[in-house]
Structure 1
Amino acid sequence: MAYTSTTTHGGINLIARVAEFAAKVKEAYALRAMYNRTYSELQGLTDRELNDIGVRRCDIKDIAHDHVYCA
């Protein structure tokens, strides 16, 4: 009885997976930078300015998250 074994080299597939992973990491860094920028800008506002736009200081984290990741 003869047995055959088939193996595939995943060369191209591996390269595509690494490229996809790198793209996802790049996108995650870009989103995080946007979150940090939004958070910092809102934190930089005075309490009066936040009150004028209807934002409580304790909600800044959630607002920045929703703006970046849920939009």
Structure 2
Amino acid sequence: MAYATDTRTFGATFGERFSGLRASLADRYAKYKVYRSTMTELDTLSDRELADLGIHRSSIRAIAIEAAYDTK
């Protein structure tokens, strides 16, 4: 049985692919920074302050993920 493989790149040079990878990593890092910042800020609040905001300590991680990654 014979097999034929045809691989082509459609206009994406190495520089373009590297640039896309770099932009993707920069975007992921920026989102991670928002996540860490939100986690740190909410974690430093007391239970009373969190209760005033209507947030339970166990939901801090979910709130940080939603803030950083726009998931609901």
TM-score, length-scaled by structure 2 = 0.79
- State the distance in 2 between where 1:51 and 1:36 align: 21
Find the counterpart in structure 2 of residue 19 from structure 1: 19
- State the distance in 2 between where 1:58 and 1:68 align: 17
1:53 aligned onto 2:47:
no
Aligned-residue CA RMSD in angstroms? Answer: 2.1
- The residue identity in structure 2 corresponding to 1:45 is L
Find the counterpart in structure 1 of residue 63 from structure 2: 63
Structure 2: gaps spanning 5 or more residues: 1-7
Find the counterpart in structure 1 of residue 28 from structure 2: 28
Runs of at least 4 residues off by over 4 Å: none
State the identity %.
32
TM-score, length-scaled by structure 1 = 0.80
